[in-house]
Chain A
Amino acid sequence: DSGVTQTPKHLITATGQRVTLRCSPRSGDLSVYWYQQSLDQGLQFLIHYYNGEERAKGNILERFSAQQFPDLHSELNLSSLELGDSALYFCASSVNTWTSGDEQFFGPGTRLTVL
């Protein structure tokens, strides 16, 4: 158990809908990263938040957004969902530095299925 929690574990929804995925980092970690894992694209970095501020964006679509709250939990919002958005979504947390590259610990993931 990495200490990172994600909810829900599974999510099934329809095209065009909007969903919110939630992540709670390890105690004391200020950085939260979101990743998408799919069969064709592999594991891809989406976005990084540090202590409530957005630090970097990776291959994140404009239909996707995220935020990190004062209690450090983070939410990933996916809107206007398409079939191709079906994937596993992971968050990872790392120690309280704003620079990347510290050990990242992954949560169990949310499996999103868009029908």
Chain B
Amino acid sequence: GENVEQHPSTLSVQEGDSAVIKCTYSDSASNYFPWYKQELGKGPQLIIDIRSNVGEKKDQRIAVTLNKTAKHFSLHITETQPEDSAVYFCAAIARGGGADGLTFGKGTHLIIQP
């Protein structure tokens, strides 16, 4: 089955700086890669996703890149703000390959220092 590795487990950045979180996956059949943000006491919130026919996708201050050859994808947050502090999860799945659920990374605790 799929295995997703996520790094780093904790990331502390100064407000206004950029943050990058990286994930690798093992199953070459995976073709859909969402990112979730989880705040304390809440459920994971989908913030951006990318499909394997695209190399990069942007939405305001967040962007995701995908390298299918190397089997890794990354989340980039620019101009970080205090409200960006949360735990971020990457995930992977093979769309159309069955009806399994998402395989998640272990999460990155992002801390924005004022």
Contacts and interface: CB of A to CB of B under 8 A. Distances in A.
Interface string B71-114: 00000000000000000010001111111111111110000000
A39 B46 CA distance: 21
Chain A, interface residues (CB within 8 Å), range? 20 to 34
Contacts of A35: 101-102
B96 A42 contact: no
B61 interface: no
Contacts of A42: 104-107
B75 to A, nearest CB: 16
Which secondary structure dominates where chain B touches chain A? loop
B44 A101 contact: no
Interface stretch (A12-20, A61-69, A73-81, A103-111): A103-111
B106 A101 contact: no
Contact of A43 (B31, B42, B46, B104): B104
A2 B43 contact: yes
Contact of A101 (B42, B45, B93, B104): B93
B37 to A, nearest CB: 11
Contacts of B98: 56, 99-100
Q: Can you list the 10 inter-chain pairs with the closest CB atoms, starting with the nearest?
A: A101-B95, A45-B101, A55-B99, A106-B43, A56-B99, A43-B104, A101-B32, A106-B44, A101-B93, A56-B100
17 contacts: A35-B102, A42-B104, A43-B102, A45-B100, A48-B99, A56-B99, A90-B43, A98-B99, A99-B96, A99-B98, A100-B94, A100-B98, A104-B101, A104-B102, A105-B46, A106-B36, A106-B44
Interface of B: 31-32, 34, 36, 42-46, 49, 89, 93-107
